[in-house]
Amino acid sequence: MTTILQVVPELETGGVERTAVDMAQACKARGWRALVASAGGRLEAELAQVGGEHIAMPLASKNPFVMAANAGRLAEIVRREEVSILHARSRAPAWSALYAARKIDVPFVTTYHGAYGQKNALKGFYNSVMARGDAVIANSHYTAGLIRDRYGVSGERVTVIHRGSDIEAIANVPPERVAAMRATWGVDDKTRVVLQLARLTHWKGQGVTIDAFAGLDPALREDIVLILVGDAQGREDYVAELEASIARHRLNGRIRLVGHCADVPAAMNAADVVAVSSVEPEAFGRAAVEAQAAGRPVIVSDLGAVPETVLAPPRVATEERTGWRIPAGDAHALSATLTEALTLAPQALNALSARARANAARFSLEAMCGQTLDVYSRLLR
């Protein structure tokens, strides 16, 4: 039987973890065995539900001695479980997986999920493991460009496969789930929601969104709340910084930090406008796709891979836009664009929503899984 082993640091939350579970389900549907090795987390139960098998290992560790031990154990697992392909989705576990794949002589696949800062040669070498696969999957054309420019890897070894989302599930959320989500946030039926859904970290730009919300005309802001959804993942200093900014703007209660969200489709449908305010390049930016799948106006920072997912001038005519792109870190531009999105006439809003849903269909879960399975099949020939 074909057996695919994916390695990720943890199974908590985020695009890497979500994609690992999605691909495990796709492998099972193909009739293959799906293994995922990680330090575990809240997505373990979902992995089991889709038929995947979890192997607990301290793969989140960057300690060289732990990584060396992981390499030996992965080699043992690859041999014992007769693994057909070893697929690494993050750098620390990828180094251990590379050793195991070469020792046992099985195909090694990497997915280059992030932009990965390279401040010095040592960091560049550490990142380079993600370009060492027999097949390298780039989650956007932007990411493929980074791989080419940094490591000279291109051509058949690199395949661009955009991250996929369950577009139909997002587009067809039952009203009761949406109502339950808004109730969880303490939002009544008459209040509109500006939503940012991203883990709480500085480069995601929650501080910019807070400043932009504070810059709205008070009369417009009267019936609107800003909901910041995301797990702090231990960044308590950043949370305190955001809370201080909210207090400084005297917007306590109007801006709410609500923590982790287990029902992203309901959250997107509970919003009126979605902001993706990253101040550093997104390697893909799934939130922008999911906002469009829900038919919501989305405003994104114009850097990284997000321009590949949101249609906006000057790339398309104004009447073809599916969202807005603004300079990263520009709270004034975000505030002005929020005003434009929040004051769209009903007919214009409906037309934008229809275009957004059609555009999001290009980034389906089925497309991502099918293209990744094709990469696996090519290596198995």
Task: Reply yes or no on whether the pLDDT at 185 is more than 80.
Answer: yes
Task: Reply yes or no on whether the pLDDT at 14 is more than 80.
Answer: no
Q: What is the mean pLDDT of residues 70-99?
A: 97
Q: pLDDT by residue (tens digit) across 263-305?
A: 999 999 999 999 999 999 988 888 999 999 999 999 999 999 9
Question: What is the band of 117 on the pLDDT scale with cuts at 50, 70, 90?
Answer: confident
Whether 3-164+364-380 and 167-362 share one fold: the answer is: yes
Are the C-beta atoms of 327 and 301 separated by less than 8 Å?
yes
- Tell me what pLDDT residue 121 has: 87
Q: What is the mean pLDDT of residues 137-147?
A: 93
Q: What is the mean pLDDT of residues 67-77?
A: 97
Task: Reply yes or no on whether the pLDDT at 115 is more than 90.
Answer: no
- Tell me what pLDDT residue 292 has: 98
Fold of domain 167-362 = Rossmann fold (3.40.50)
The candidate with the shortest Cα–Cα distance to 6, out of 378, 373, 381, 367, is 373
- Tell me what pLDDT residue 307 has: 86
Task: Reply yes or no on whether the pLDDT at 233 is more than 90.
Answer: no
Whole-number Å distance between alpha carbons of 106 and 35: 15
Lowest-confidence range among 52-56, 206-210, 282-286, 376-380? 282-286
The candidate with the shortest Cα–Cα distance to 39, out of 12, 79, 15, is 12
Whole-number Å distance between alpha carbons of 47 and 35: 9
- Tell me what pLDDT residue 155 has: 85
Question: What is the band of 118 on the pLDDT scale with cuts at 50, 70, 90?
Answer: confident
The full set of domain ranges for the chain reads 3-164+364-380, 167-362
- Tell me what pLDDT residue 323 has: 97
Class for domain 3-164+364-380, per CATH? alpha beta
Express as a percent the part of the chain with pLDDT over 90: 90
Q: pTM of the entire structure?
A: 0.84
- Tell me what pLDDT residue 109 has: 98
Q: pLDDT by residue (tens digit) across 192-220?
A: 999 999 999 999 999 999 999 999 999 99
3 state SS for 268-323? HHHCCEEEECCCCCCCCCHHHHHHHHCCCCEEEECCCCHHHCCCCCCCCCHHHCCC
Q: What is the mean pLDDT of residues 84-94?
A: 96
Q: What is the mean pLDDT of residues 76-89?
A: 97
Task: Reply yes or no on whether the pLDDT at 154 is more than 90.
Answer: no
- Tell me what pLDDT residue 283 has: 87
